[in-house]
Structures are given as structure tokens and as C-alpha cells.
């Protein structure tokens, strides 16, 4: 469903991604693990089109998207939950979700979204800025989901969120995949979360994928080594 081939990205003269290649299938969740500064956010920004590729290709369901602007990639089926959530603090919860429906015919938030995240229904008239970090993360996921993506990208969704809520987010991602059979790509530093959601795990180091394993064959001690400084 998502096919990333030999992606190179640079900030000016400084090379950040050195030939990233991976595939993620329909109804599969893939985790990209890595410490700070290893290239996770750069990879996600290049997938959604915030950063241009120097070379390489990105396909969604067989369609090349790497030359498209972000809004076109969204139309072709990619949704993006950025690191730090980036919800609109002065808009209500409902309005925040509706920003994801900008190009939809019906602006009503689908009931399924509130069924997945009941707390968002309870808080729908509150300002986004008044939600806790975990609630904002759920809001950011809801906003991405209403675009009806084939591929959902989440950049460090557990960052700064308390352990009990991390469990809720893992449950929601697993529920979303079961309901919609979409592809989920998540970047992470929390290994327990990745092991809860991912069918396959990659490790990124210095802008290169240096490890791949299925969940069943994952040697967690080895991954922890990659994640420790």
C-alpha cells in the first residue's frame, strides 16, 4: 500500500536521509523506532510532502505521490499526525476535527470517530488548547482519520503522554486497523507501545534503516540497545 524507495532528503548541504526504502501493506502496522535526531520526523515530513525529496519515490496504492503537494497526497490517501499534535488551540474539539473535513461534502463528524474516542464527544465544545496531551493526541488522530486515509502516519504519538493514556492510544490504533484495514506507520521511542501495535518494526539510525523484524521475531533487548544512547 505504501512503497518507499531509496528516499534521500537534505537540509541544504546537510544530508538527513540516506536512501530509505520500505513497504507497508494494507492492514499492516509498521513502527519506525529511533532515538532523537535519527531522522524519523524528516522521513514523515518527506512522506506527507512538507519536505521535498532529493531523489527516490513514494507510492500509495500504486500511485506515485512524491511530486505532489501535501493536499494532493491527502486526496490520494495519506493522512499525517505530526509530532507535537499541532491541533488548533483556539478552535473547539469539533471544529478541529472538521478542519480534516475541508474537502468533504458532508461536514458532520462521523459517529464512528466519537465511538473510537468517546472523550472527544464529551469534550466536543471545549477548546482544543484546554485538552490534556493525551486528549490532544486523540484529537489529532481523529482529525487525520476523517480524511478516510489508506495510509495513516503518526510521528511519535506517545511523546509526553502518561503511560495509562499510551495504552488507550495503542488500543485505538488497533481498533482503527481492525475496522478499516488501513496501513499505519508510526514512529516511536517507546518500545512497549510499538510492540502493542506493530506487525513489523524498523530501526532508523543516522537517516538509514538499520534493522527490520516482525513483531514475533523481534529481539527487544537488541531494539533497546538501539534506543539507548
Ligand X SMILES: Nc1ncnc2c1ncn2[C@@H]1O[C@H](COP(=O)(O)OP(=O)(O)O)[C@@H](O)[C@H]1O
109 or 153: whose CB is closer to ligand X?
153
123 binds, among ligand X, Mg ion, none (CB under 5 to 8 A by kind): none
Closest distance of CB 205 from ligand X, Å? 10
Closest distance of CB 40 from Mg ion, Å? 5
Instruction: Considering only residues 1 through 60, tell me which ones interact with ligand X, judged by CB under 6 A.
Output: 11, 14, 16, 34, 36-42
Closest distance of CB 119 from Mg ion, Å? 25
Place of cell 474516542: 117
20 binds, among Mg ion, ligand X, none (CB under 5 to 8 A by kind): none
CA-to-CA distance for 44 and 155, rounded, in angstroms? 7
52 binds, among Mg ion, ligand X, none (CB under 5 to 8 A by kind): none
Place of cell 466519537: 114
199 or 205: whose CB is closer to ligand X?
205
Sequence-distant (6+) residues with CB within 8 A of 171 are none
109 or 187: whose CB is closer to Mg ion?
187
Inter-residue contact 197 to 173 (CB < 8 Å): yes
Closest distance of CB 191 from ligand X, Å? 15
* Binding flags for ligand X, 99-138, as an x/- string (CB under 6 A): ----------------------------------------
39 binds, among Mg ion, ligand X, none (CB under 5 to 8 A by kind): ligand X
94 or 155: whose CB is closer to Mg ion?
155
Where along the sequence are the contacts to Mg ion (CB under 5 A)?
A: 40-41, 83
Cα dihedral 7/5/192/133 (nearest 10): 50
7 or 16: whose CB is closer to ligand X?
16
Closest distance of CB 6 from ligand X, Å? 18
42 or 137: whose CB is closer to ligand X?
42
Residues found near ligand X in the complex (CB under 6 A): 11, 14, 16, 34, 36-42
Amino acid at each position: 500500500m505504501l512503497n518507499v524507495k531509496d528516499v534521500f532528503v537534505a537540509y541544504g548541504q546537510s544530508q538527513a536521509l540516506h536512501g530509505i526504502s520500505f513497504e507497508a501493506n494494507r492492514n499492516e502496522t509498521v513502527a519506525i523506532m529511533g532515538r532523537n535526531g535519527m531522522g524519523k520526523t524528516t522521513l514523515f515530513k518527506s512522506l506527507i510532502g512538507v519536505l521535498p525529496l532529493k531523489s527516490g519515490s513514494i507510492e500509495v496504492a500504486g500511485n506515485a505521490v512524491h511530486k505532489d503537494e501535501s493536499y494532493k497526497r491527502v486526496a490520494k490517501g495519506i493522512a499525517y499526525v505530526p509530532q507535537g499534535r499541532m491541533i488548533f488551540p483556539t478552535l473547539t474539539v469539533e471544529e478541529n476535527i472538521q478542519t480534516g473535513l475541508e474537502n468533504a461534502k458532508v461536514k458532520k463528524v462521523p459517529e464512528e470517530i466519537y465511538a473510537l474516542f468517546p472523550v472527544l464527544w464529551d469534550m466536543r465544545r471545549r477548546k482544543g488548547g484546554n485538552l490534556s496531551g493525551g486528549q490532544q493526541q486523540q484529537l489529532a488522530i481523529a482529525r487525520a482519520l476523517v480524511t478516510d486515509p489508506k495510509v495513516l502516519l503518526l510521528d511519535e504519538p506517545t511523546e509526553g503522554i502518561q503511560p495509562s493514556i499510551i495504552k488507550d492510544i495503542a488500543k485505538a490504533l488497533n481498533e482503527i486497523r481492525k475496522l478499516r484495514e488501513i496501513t499505519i506507520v508510526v514512529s516511536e521511542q517507546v518500545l512497549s507501545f510499538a510492540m502493542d501495535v506493530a506487525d513489523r518494526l524498523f530501526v532508523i539510525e543516522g537517516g538509514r534503516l538499520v534493522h527490520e523484524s516482525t513483531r514475533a521475531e523481534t529481539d527487544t533487548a537488541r531494539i533497546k540497545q538501539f534506543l539507548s544512547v
